Amino acid sequence: MPLVSMRQLLDQAARGGYGVGAFNVNNMEQIQGIMEAARETASPVIVQASRGARSYAGDRFLYHLMLAAAEEYPEIPVALHQDHGNCPETCISAIELGFTSVMMDGSLLEDGKTVADYEYNVQVTREVVRYAHARGVTVEGELGTLGGIEDGVGSGEVHLTDPDQAVDFVARTGIDALAVAIGTSHGAYKFSRRPDGQILAMHVIEEIHRRLPDTHLVMHGASSVPAALIDRINATGGKMRPAFGVPVQEIQLGIRHGVRKINVDTDGRLAITAAVREALVAKPEEFDPRHFTRAAREGMRQIVAERMRQFGQAGHAGDYQPRSLEQMRRFYEALEAAPVGAATAAA
């Protein structure tokens, strides 16, 4: 099966009332772990790469690894997504490479750190939407900012998404999915205590979904940071502080209110680190890298399969016939020509 449009995955998830995990990758083992989890659970999946990942792995290497994944797992619908594109040029380069989805993060300026003004966000996001939709590619935008910094991205400031502004933003940009800021953060150290309603503003998601019932919402910084993984890392020589992530129950609440894409990066990093440390401790005499890279792949598989079941996407890989990007281009063309206010047909 070729790489497919993320829009189609999210439309199908909306019909089925589940969420789709978007898992970050940097290398072959992570991709293999994700795809094995998708096969085990019969799940559609979004594989995403940050600018840092593209720099680390190399664009052509990363893209051809994903082509190999699509060939080796033909029964799994998989979208390749650019995470946190910092400017239109980054998104355009991903589209030209073969990514089937991009995120234009206009909530920050091109440096990926400075908070941008609203009109700038609208302008650059709309520019990417025009370019992407003409090629059948999905676009995710972001409104508001997350806390924390990960992979060089983040202002370190939290600005919750304004529901009124969200309605205007979606109308003016034409995005397929909206990443909302509800108090989550990038990285492992998201919260100093288990988050409650005063920390995690789930009511923002509920209100935006009420106003934009047909817009797919996205939760960034949605790793749960399991204490068991931190304990395993520290038991094998690590020095991680206690950390709190987003409880799975809160993510599931979000899914019931329109969240269709859930970004998970830190949990994968923790699972890999724990598995590699344990493999090295168990056989300190071993010098074949495959000893610990195999463990890394298995650690990734386990955590991704668990999240796929929790998000409800398990069992849905065969629910529909994937459409080509050319079919999606025609879908967007028809959408543009539709009368204002007309109901949009799902992809």
* pLDDT at residue number 235: 98
d(CA 53, CA 80): 13
The Cα–Cα gap between 262 and 223 comes to 9
Q: Which residues of the chain have pLDDT under 50?
A: 343-346
Question: Which pair of structure tokens corresponds to residue 181?
Answer: 């800021």
Domains of the chain as residue ranges with CATH: 6-337 (3.20.20.70)
Helix (H, G, I), strand (E, B) or coil at 73: coil
Answer for the pair 68, 49: CB distance below 8 angstroms, yes or no: no
List of residues 6+ apart from 340 with CB closer than 8 A: none
In degrees and rounded to multiples of 5, residue 127 shows phi and psi of -60, -45
H-assigned helices in the chain: 6-16, 28-41, 51-57, 59-72, 88-97, 118-133, 163-173, 202-211, 227-235, 248-256, 266-282, 289-311, 325-337
- Going by their DSSP bridges, the two strands 101-104 and 20-24 should be labelled as unpaired
CA atoms within 13 A on the CB side of 317: 23
Structure-token pair, residue 11: 């439309």
The per-residue pLDDT for 153 is: 60
What is residue 159's predicted lDDT score, i.e. its pLDDT? Answer: 86
Q: Sign (positive/negative) of CA torsion 297, 300, 302, 304?
A: negative
Q: Which pLDDT tens digit goes with each residue over 192-220?
A: 667 666 678 899 999 999 999 999 999 99
What gap in Å lies between CA 117 and CA 120, rounded to an integer? 6
Q: Which residues are catalytic?
A: 83
Q: Is 173 exposed, middle or buried (0-12, 13-18, 19+ CB in 10 A)?
A: buried
Q: What is the pLDDT of residue 194?
A: 74
pTM (2 decimals)?
A: 0.93
In this structure, what are the phi and psi dihedrals at residue 146, rounded to the nearest 5 degrees?
-90, 160
Query: Which of the 8 DSSP states describes residue 154?
Result: -
Q: How far is CA 184 from CA 121, 147, 151, 195, 244, in A?
A: 20, 6, 16, 9, 11
Q: What are phi and psi of 330, to 5 degrees?
A: -65, -35
Q: What is the gyration radius of the CA atoms in the chain, in angstroms?
A: 19
d(CA 74, CA 68): 10
